[in-house]
Chain A
Amino acid sequence: MYNAVVNVTLKKSVLDPQGQTVLHALESLGFKDAKKVRVGKYFEVAIDAKDHKSAEDRIKAMCDQLLINPVIEEYTYDLKEAR
């Protein structure tokens, strides 16, 4: 069994209205050092796979087919064997 952690954010080229609003809220709280906020999504997926390579193929396929919308989002993932 493998555990995948997927982080999804809007592409750099896509304006993030949620992130901007959070940034403004941070500024109004006095966090003047906050300069940029991007809001994203987080998935934890447990994958039944025989080895690291096949788990990696599966999580990529899941991201590409459902978890993210490639028109506006991009993702990174971290994959570890479950203990």
Chain B
Amino acid sequence: MKATVVVFPGSNCDSDCFNVMKDVMKADVQYVWHKEASLPKCDLVILPGGFSYGDYLRTGAIARFSPVMKAVKDHADQGRLLIGICNGFQILLEAGLLPGAMLRNKTLSFICKHVWLRTDDTNNPFTNKFKKGQTILIPIAHGEGNYTCDDATLKGLQDQNQIVFRYSSEAGKTGEEFNPNGSRDDIAGILNQKRNVLGMMPHPERSSEQVLGGSDGKQIWESLLVSVKS
């Protein structure tokens, strides 16, 4: 698998993503600075977490205009794989590559903890190694993960099985008490209609090695490996 990690000013999970790709998944990975106008031809582009442009104006709002974003969009338009994690998800929303927007967490506080996610769709390149309904423990670390969209968009996401991860209990029960940020329909991660772009607030790259306290996130990279090979 060939992967590219895009680095924006203020990205802070780029090394984590790079490390997982290189040392855990043994992938061929490289960094690309946001000022580049093109991307190397690769299977997977990762928009990492962080605070691109200091979260000025709105999270992800300025990064959308980085020169590299046109190449990122072209990469996705060609049907190749793109994942945005945390701030990367926020950038995908601002760039219009995924529908909806982020609001401040309902508690208004920055939340940094492990949460359970229920896998509600496995018919996509990111979760094909999962069992439907499988729960995984993945850390979140964000102040604005309160996903929102209008009713028509939500219905579209539900009807086309674009909601991949929902916040839940360990047993897979959803409800307000298991939703850390107040996101609509307990959404933690969504796909685009073509199912080759995933945005998620939780950090699989921080949970892909047992030494970091858990490796549930590794299954996402393993799924991608399967998709790329097939």
Contacts and interface: CB of A to CB of B under 8 A. Distances in A.
Interface string A7-50: 00010011111100100000000000000000000000000000
B57 A72 contact: no
A72 B108 contact: no
A8 to B, nearest CB: 10
A67 to B, nearest CB: 8
Given A66-B57, A69-B94, A14 B108 contact: no
A69 B182 contact: no
Nearest to A16: B103
A17 B105 contact: yes
Contact of B101 (A15, A17, A69): A69
A18 B144 CA distance: 12
Interface residues of B, number: 19
B61 A69 contact: yes
Given A14-B148, A17-B182, A66-B61, A71 B101 contact: yes
Nearest to A39: B104
B149 A71 contact: yes
Contacts of A72: 101, 103, 148
Given A13-B150, A66-B61, A69-B61, A21 B103 contact: no
Contacts of B100: 71
B103 A15 contact: yes
Interface string B135-150: 0000000000010111
B106 interface: yes
Interface residues of A, number: 13
A14 B103 contact: yes
Nearest to B149: A71
B141 to A, nearest CB: 18
Interface in B94-149: 94, 99-101, 103-108, 146, 148-149
Contacts of B101: 69, 71-72
A28 B1 CA distance: 56
Contacts of B148: 14-15, 71-72
Contacts of B107: 17
Interface string B185-216: 00000000000000000000000000000000
Interface of B: 57-58, 61, 93-94, 99-101, 103-108, 146, 148-150, 182
6 contacts: A15-B103, A15-B148, A15-B182, A18-B108, A69-B61, A71-B99
Query: Which 9 pairs show the lowest CB-CB distances between chains A and B?
Result: A71-B101, A72-B101, A17-B106, A17-B104, A69-B101, A21-B108, A18-B104, A69-B58, A17-B108
